Chain A
Amino acid sequence: MGRVRVRAEPLELILYQSDAGTARGQASVVCFPESIDDLSFAIRAANRHRVSFVARGSGTGLAGGATPVANSLVIVMTRMNRILEVDPVGRVAWVEPGVLNLDLTRSVRHLGLHYAPDPSSQQACTIGGNVGTNAGGPHCLSAGVTSTHVLAADVVLGNGEIVRLGGLEPDAVGYDLRGCFVGSEGTMGIAASIAVRLTPDPPETRTLLADFTSVDAAAETVSGIIAEGIVPAALEMMDAPITRLVEEFVGAGYPLDAEAVLLIEVTGLIGGVDAEVDAIRRVALEHGARQVKVAITEQDRMLLWKGRKSAFGAIAKVAPDYYLHDIVVPRTRLVEVLKRVYEIAAEQDLLVMNVFHAGDGNLHPLFVFDGSEPGIWERVYAAGDGIVQACLDAGGVLSGEHGIGLEKRDYMSLAYSADDLDAQARLRDAFDPDGFANPEKILPAGSRCGEMKRAPEGTWI
């Protein structure tokens, strides 16, 4: 690789010492591969120098998955950003990992197709990063998360070897290594090209906005809709503070005096869509919705979605810092866990806002604060601990779409037994026996039976 594509200037190293989360690390060298051969070359070079490596897309991750530990080589994948092939009949696209999520959908829109996973950061985040974290998004409620949409990947393993995982045929021979790789946060190697499924655009789409005078009523409506046997395309909830903020930001027509709103999308053929819209309206009104508005035109629908997707941009107006959580609970436990989230915020005297994928039970409590206030980070972290505990107590899981990375690594032993974690470590080691691929992520120190517990070098969280 030439000089242009390998950098080690101090300023650049600082730029790549973290993702969008709070964990900081230390990079030794940064490189920008432009082909699978570059990528394999970089990994083999790192192997020779006994240096670990970490892949990075746009750096929008929040769990520290792309944070370099132990002076890792940072491999920035953004120059591998070509859409290699689109097959409109087979509805498959081969892309390089640096392609932005929304760019893929834009490039196939004229074919009546889209790429279904749509994380809120879809304008900025890469498909490779999405594969790393098994990313979700509002429309994953009915369409499924990233793993559902990844058919195959050409992957460079931790030793520089190139292998194909999965394939365009429905079942690959042997174990589902493709399934293992998706969501492995770069610890099983780095994808150099990815085959994704493209989804036909639905013939009909309705977007509903229901507003409520209590958070409980909105949350109960969510359970009510699922219990009715309806799986909408998306089912999102926003509480009062975030709704007001978003409305000032975009002017989408969200009610300023509601305690909570639900944004619900129904797609499909006209008969099913009409029936579901009627049923959802009835369930919402039965649970005390003040009104249920149905947006039919593309323009009205887009405005509502713009509000939802710019929520995290809007909060910058309130306070300089925020901490966004990501937990999932069984949908029937939503009301009680949400209550507990507000209690925890009150106990720590923190402002919390909630905008989340309610239909999946995927909560995103967002603490908004000024990080320069003395002692504030301790309260934010204490609240985070409380939320994780509340989630696990309700039978939930540690992350729905952001991943474990460094942020939640040390919670893993709350969620899994020693045998469970040992099994996870064995699987990881089978992919990467030398342990060079994004070390110290996901699994807490001590996961392997007999391993010493130690803190990662050169990191603070």
Chain B
Amino acid sequence: MTAFVELAEQIGNATAVEIMGAGTQRGIGGAVDASKPIVEVRAPTGIVSLDPADMTVRVLAGTPVGVLSAALAEVGQECPLDPEDSAATVGGVLACGCSGIRRIRYGPIRDRVLEVRFITGQGRLVRGGGPTVKNVSGYDFPRLMVGSHGTLGMLVEVVLKTQPLANKSSWYTSELSPALLRTSIYRPACIAWNGKMTYVLLEGHEIDVLSQASELSLEPAQSPPHPIGKHRGRISIDPARIGSLAKRLEDIEVRWLAEIGVGTVHVATNKDAGLHDARLAAHGEGGWLLREAGAPLLDPFGVVPSNREVMGRIRDAFDPSGKLNPGRLPFARFTP
């Protein structure tokens, strides 16, 4: 708590603050405006309490996901935050709002957060939600904070819902169409498609994993290679339109991997205009592209949400002087 109070004072007194995690996703959400003197702040680290019989864990936001995963694995559990780099901090992953590759089965990361403690731009320590697996007492701050890019407050502590580690977890490939696999498999952990090959992750009881794999003649495989390139982004699209998006992506120089049934499409390219072209393809299908890395001249989101006024008022309510990660989430500023 002392650490929280000190951080709250520091944030309350600063004119501009950049909230730092491990820096693994620093390109997401827009560059922090460097025109003001910036104070870098980091959330404290450590697991506060882990009770396997509650299937919840209270963890400080600066804790690396890898450290949390190791502690949970010791008691046979996990929390599927699944960042690409396990050095990423719990707070950083939540603030960026990027869900992991097993989302089709385990849901988005916003469904994992039961309680949050955060420090507002005014230096107030606020708690929202509660430590139990079910809770409707007041407004859902845990979900609001996920994907808010540190513009409403600095996450300092969260309670996450955990789950038992699957008895078996295996990747396969298949030549069947992703749509057919989607309807044939009960609760796959991931179906990923790159236009040529479909990758399937099955998790559960060993008997079920093996029998599903043999029924569909799936071939054991490594996990799908994540698209690599200087410029990276993720498209968010109605999953029903992945097929037509794929056709558009074929015409441009990008590598991509789509999460079937979810609508997340990971794209990467070394071509300077590649991410811009992928964004246009996403817009053509009613989706949008989040810039994750590289492409410094590209707008971080490329779209302005229709409800930006509400977002602007929310941001003003928690950070009236605009000191938290200034420049990030540029559309969410109230203009009366």
A pairs with B: yes
Mark A residues whose CB is within 8 Å of B. Answer: 87, 89-90, 133-134, 136, 140, 144-145, 147-148, 157, 163-165, 167-177, 179-180, 182-184, 200, 202-203, 223, 226-227, 229-231, 268-272, 275, 328-332, 357, 360-362, 395-404, 408, 412, 415-417, 419-424, 426-431, 433, 442-443
Q: Find A419's partner among B125, B138, B308 (CB 8 Å cutoff).
A: B125
Q: State whether the Cβ of B108 lies closer than 8 Å to any Cβ in chain A.
A: yes
Closest to B212 in A: A269
Mask for B280-307, Cβ within 8 A of A = 1, else 0?
0000001110100000000001011111
Q: Which 5 A-B pairs have the closest CB atoms?
A: A179-B143, A271-B207, A229-B164, A397-B130, A272-B205
Beyond A171-B147, A175-B152, 9 extra complex contacts between A and B, CB < 8 Å: A89-B183, A147-B111, A169-B287, A170-B108, A171-B108, A172-B305, A231-B164, A329-B132, A416-B127
Q: What's the nearest-Cβ distance from chain A to residue B219, in Å? A: 20
User: What residues of B have a CB within 8 angstroms of the CB of A170 in the complex?
Assistant: 99, 103, 108, 236, 239, 259, 262-264
> Which of B56, B108, B138, B212 has the largest number of chain A CB atoms within 10 A?
B138
A176 and B143: CB pair below 8 A? yes
Cα–Cα distance between A118 and B330 once the two chains are bound (Å): 40
Q: Can you pick out 24 interface pairs between chain A and chain B where the beta carbons lie within 8 Å of each other?
A: A133-B136, A136-B134, A144-B107, A144-B111, A169-B237, A174-B305, A175-B332, A179-B110, A182-B140, A229-B77, A229-B164, A229-B165, A271-B204, A328-B133, A332-B53, A360-B132, A398-B137, A419-B124, A424-B138, A424-B141, A427-B317, A430-B314, A431-B313, A433-B313
A89-B240, A231-B163, A271-B211 as given contacts; A428 in contact with B139, CB under 8 Å: yes
Q: Find A269's partner among B132, B136, B186, B290 (CB 8 Å cutoff).
A: B186
Q: State whether the Cβ of B187 lies closer than 8 Å to any Cβ in chain A.
A: yes
Closest to B152 in A: A175
A395 and B135: CB pair below 8 A? no
Q: Find B144's partner among A89, A229, A420, A427 (CB 8 Å cutoff).
A: A427
Cα–Cα distance between A269 and B213 once the two chains are bound (Å): 13
User: What residues of A have a CB within 8 angstroms of the CB of B237 in the complex?
Assistant: 169
Mark B residues whose CB is within 8 Å of A. Answer: 51-56, 76-77, 97, 99, 103, 107-108, 110-111, 120, 124-128, 130-141, 143-144, 146-148, 152, 163-165, 167, 179, 183, 186-187, 204-208, 211-212, 236-240, 259, 262-264, 286-288, 290, 301, 303-308, 310-311, 313-314, 316-318, 329, 331-332
Q: Find A229's partner among B76, B127, B186, B207 (CB 8 Å cutoff).
A: B76
User: What residues of B have a CB within 8 angstroms of the CB of A422 in the complex?
Assistant: 124
Q: What's the nearest-Cβ distance from chain A to residue B111, in Å? A: 5
Cα–Cα distance between A202 and B186 once the two chains are bound (Å): 8
A171 and B163: CB pair below 8 A? no
User: What residues of B have a CB within 8 angstroms of the CB of A269 in the complex?
Assistant: 186, 204-205, 207-208, 211-212
Cα–Cα distance between A154 and B190 once the two chains are bound (Å): 30
User: What residues of A have a CB within 8 angstroms of the CB of B313 in the complex?
Assistant: 429-431, 433
Closest to B103 in A: A170
B134 and A145: CB pair below 8 A? yes
B311 and A90: CB pair below 8 A? no
Cα–Cα distance between A361 and B51 once the two chains are bound (Å): 14
A443 and B138: CB pair below 8 A? yes
Closest to B164 in A: A229
A169-B238, A272-B204, A427-B144 as given contacts; A226 in contact with B136, CB under 8 Å: no
Cα–Cα distance between A183 and B311 once the two chains are bound (Å): 18
Cα–Cα distance between A134 and B148 once the two chains are bound (Å): 21
Q: Find A412's partner among B53, B137, B187, B304 (CB 8 Å cutoff).
A: B137
Q: What's the nearest-Cβ distance from chain A to residue B191, in Å? A: 14
A427 and B314: CB pair below 8 A? yes
B148 and A175: CB pair below 8 A? yes
A89-B240, A419-B126 as given contacts; A400 in contact with B135, CB under 8 Å: yes
Q: What's the nearest-Cβ distance from chain A to residue B119, in Å? A: 10
Q: What's the nearest-Cβ distance from chain B to residue A432, in Å? A: 10
User: What residues of B have a CB within 8 angstroms of the CB of A395 in the complex?
Assistant: 131-132
B135 and A179: CB pair below 8 A? no
User: What residues of A have a CB within 8 angstroms of the CB of B140 in the complex?
Assistant: 134, 147, 179-180, 182-184
User: What residues of B have a CB within 8 angstroms of the CB of A87 in the complex?
Assistant: 240
Cα–Cα distance between A361 and B135 once the two chains are bound (Å): 10
Cα–Cα distance between A427 and B310 once the two chains are bound (Å): 10
Q: Find A404's partner among B137, B205, B290 (CB 8 Å cutoff).
A: B137
A408 and B317: CB pair below 8 A? no
Q: What's the nearest-Cβ distance from chain B to residue A216, in Å? A: 16
Closest to A157 in B: B310
Cα–Cα distance between A419 and B119 once the two chains are bound (Å): 11
A268 and B136: CB pair below 8 A? no
B138 and A404: CB pair below 8 A? yes
Q: What's the nearest-Cβ distance from chain A to residue B140, in Å? A: 5
A227 and B132: CB pair below 8 A? no
Cα–Cα distance between A179 and B263 once the two chains are bound (Å): 19
Cα–Cα distance between A419 and B318 once the two chains are bound (Å): 11
B208 and A134: CB pair below 8 A? no
Closest to B314 in A: A430
Q: What's the nearest-Cβ distance from chain B to residue A436, in Å? A: 15
B134 and A362: CB pair below 8 A? yes
B128 and A169: CB pair below 8 A? no
A227 and B52: CB pair below 8 A? yes
A175 and B314: CB pair below 8 A? yes
Q: Find A231's partner among B55, B141, B212, B259 (CB 8 Å cutoff).
A: B55
Q: What's the nearest-Cβ distance from chain A to residue B3, in Å? A: 17
User: What residues of B have a CB within 8 angstroms of the CB of A426 in the complex?
Assistant: 317-318
Cα–Cα distance between A403 and B52 once the two chains are bound (Å): 28
Cα–Cα distance between A412 and B139 once the two chains are bound (Å): 12
B236 and A423: CB pair below 8 A? no
Q: What's the nearest-Cβ distance from chain B to residue A165, in Å? A: 7
B132 and A163: CB pair below 8 A? no
User: What residues of B have a CB within 8 angstroms of the CB of A415 in the complex?
Assistant: 130, 137
Cα–Cα distance between A340 and B273 once the two chains are bound (Å): 65
Q: Find B53's partner among A169, A227, A416, A424 (CB 8 Å cutoff).
A: A227
Q: What's the nearest-Cβ distance from chain B to residue A201, in Å? A: 9
